[in-house]
Structure 1
Amino acid sequence: MNILLVDGYNIIGAWPELRELKETDLAAARDRLIERMAEYQGFTGSRVIVVFDAYYVKGTERKYRQAQVEVIFTRKNETADERIEKLAIELNHIHNQITVATSDYTEQRVTFGQGALRVSARELLSEVNAMGRHIKKKLEKIEEKKPNAKIPLTDEVAEIFEKWRRGKK
């Protein structure tokens, strides 16, 4: 299984869209990152774990799932780097390929030394954007192949027929 460990705040600080959003709404930037990682996970089939430092969020350690992405806020006085290193060791198994997404050079070297692959924030952004373009092209092809009705219908009538087809009133 491919597992992607994401240094959340490092990626937010490196991706232009998220960096700009962070200036006005940090929670929205985190949510947008998680959305993008959910798309990545759905497209690649990889398990994705996003780790955020507790530095920006007061309280105790939290783990939860959002859009099938595992999200971890570290406990007080634990950095995301430390948690990612622990996870890389815990999840290191012959059947797992661990990849760490961060632009922190020290973190890259440490996790690489533990057998994990590394991807920089810029490389991950390029991969996510390429994936988005690929999905868009597929959707456009599906739309092209969509058969047109033999009888021209208004949008309103077509919507009524579609509801009937699906068994809705």
Structure 2
Amino acid sequence: MRRVLLVDGYNIIGDWPELKALQGSDLEGARDLLIQYMAEYQAYTGIEVTVIFDAHMVSGLGKKLQNYAITVIYTKEKETADERIEKLVNDLKRIDTQIYVATSDFVEQRVIFASGAYRKSARELRTEMKQIEKGIEKEVSKTKKSKIKTKLPITDEMAEVFEKWRRGKR
């Protein structure tokens, strides 16, 4: 089953405290941080992520970018993220696809729910993201603690040096 998460970018930025604090002084930085979080989310969960930003914050023509391994869409002028999300839900709707929409916009939640997609509030997405970050930390820690295995009779220190060389680190 294909799973897709559509994220209302500015809605999430306006809700998550760490992004909201950044929004006033560095909107581009807030967008980049959200994209980074969503790339981690996609890598960890396997759910395809598309982040949609309204054009009213960035003038010009609509754009679709591949950033990390996720899709980032900037809507056209006078097109809202909500409109684009509704269109994407209708375009992606298939029997073998589960579509989730992350937004805390109540009206949008009702519209997408009526279209057959599942809603995910900004708070729910943030909670999931925090759990994912903990899971990533745990896996990294476990990987670091796992003993380097080799078939050669060498000391642990030498095995570690060879492993660093193998990974291109000095």
Q: 1:166 to 1:60 in 2, by over 3 A?
A: closer
Counterpart for residue 3 of structure 2: 2
Q: 1:139 to 1:111 in 2, by over 3 A?
A: same
**Post-superposition offset of 1:128:** 0.7
Deviations 1:114-138 (A, max 9, x none): 0000000000000011011011112
Structure 1, gaps ≥5 residues long? none
Query: Taking every aligned residue pair, what percent have the same amino acid on both sides?
Result: 49
TM-score by length of 2: 0.89
The number of residues matched between the two structures is 164
For 2:126 and 2:93, locate their aligned partners in 1 and report how far apart those are by CA, in whole Å. 25
Q: 1:18 to 1:152 in 2, by over 3 A?
A: same
For 1:167 and 1:17, locate their aligned partners in 2 and report how far apart those are by CA, in whole Å. 34
Counterpart for residue 57 of structure 1: 58
Counterpart for residue 94 of structure 1: 95
- Equivalent residue letter for 1:43: Y
Deviations 1:67-106 (A, max 9, x none): 0110111111110001101100110011110000000000
TM-score by length of 1: 0.89
**Post-superposition offset of 1:161:** 7.6
Counterpart for residue 120 of structure 1: 121
Alpha-carbon RMSD = 2.2
Q: 1:87 to 1:136 in 2, by over 3 A?
A: same
Structure 2, gaps ≥5 residues long? none
Task: Indicate conservation of the 8 Å contact 2:86/2:112, yes or no.
Answer: yes
